[in-house]
Amino acid sequence: MMMNSRSLAVLLTAATVMAAADVASAQPAAPQEAPASTGDAVTRADGFFRQGLRLYSDKKYVEAEKELESAWALNPTFDVAYNLGNTKYQLKKHKEAAQYLSFALRNWPLVKTVAKLKPTAEQRYAESRAQVGAVAVTVEVAGAEVLVDGKAVGRAPLEGEVFVEPGEHQVEARQVGYAPASQTVTVAKGATAAVTLALAAAKSEGGTTEGGGSAVGAGAGAPLMGQPPAGPVEPQPLPEKRSWVPVIALGAASAVGLGVGIGMTVASNSANSDGRAQRDQIFADGGGCLASPSFAERCAKVERSAERAGLLGDIALGSYIASGVLAAAAVTYALWPATRTEKSTAVLVLPEPRVDGLGFVMAGAW
**pLDDT value, residue 12:** 28
Confidence of residue 72 (pLDDT cuts 50, 70, 90): very high
pLDDT exceeds 50 at position 45: yes
Predicted local distance difference test score (pLDDT) of residue 91: 95
Three-state secondary-structure class, residue 265: helix
Q: What is the mean pLDDT of residues 216-231?
A: 37
Mean of pLDDT values over 59-80 = 93
Of residues 291 and 83, more confidently modeled: 83
User: Which sequence spans correspond to the domains of the chain?
Assistant: 23-131, 132-238, 245-365
Q: Does the pLDDT at position 281 exceed 90? A: no
pTM reported for the whole predicted model: 0.48
Choosing among 3.30.300.30, 2.60.40.1120, 3.30.530.20, 3.30.160.60, the CATH entry for 132-238 is 2.60.40.1120
Radius of gyration of the chain from its Cα atoms, rounded to whole angstroms = 34
- pLDDT class of 251 with cuts at 50, 70, 90: confident
Task: Give one word for 240, left, alpha or beta, with left for phi > 0 and alpha for psi -120 to 50.
Answer: beta
**What are the pLDDT digits (tens) for 108-149?**
988 777 888 889 999 999 999 999 999 999 998 899 999 999
Rounded mean pLDDT, 73-80: 91
**Residue 335, pLDDT above cutoff 80:** no
Kindly report which listed range (66-75, 166-175, 191-200, 302-311) carries the lowest average pLDDT score: 302-311
296-321 pLDDT, tens digit per residue, is 677 777 778 788 878 888 887 888 88
| Whether the predicted pLDDT of 290 surpasses 70 | no
pLDDT of res. 295: 64
Least confident of 54-68, 120-134, 142-156, 324-338: 324-338
Superfamily of domain 23-131: Tetratricopeptide repeat domain (1.25.40.10)
Whether the pLDDT of residue 342 is over 60: the answer is: no
Task: Specify the higher pLDDT residue, 84 or 360.
Answer: 84
Q: Other C-beta atoms within 10 Å of 322: how many?
A: 23
Per-residue model confidence (pLDDT) at position 38: 67
Diameter over CA atoms, the chain? 122
**In sequence order, what DSSP letters do the residues of 28-62 get, joined into one string?**
-------PPPPHHHHHHHHHHHHHHHHHHHTT-HH
Output the average pLDDT for the chain.
74
Residue 172 has pLDDT above 90, yes or no: yes
pLDDT at 355: 44
Angle, CA of 71, 129 and 49, to the nearest 5° = 15
The percent of residues above 70 in pLDDT, for the chain, comes to 67
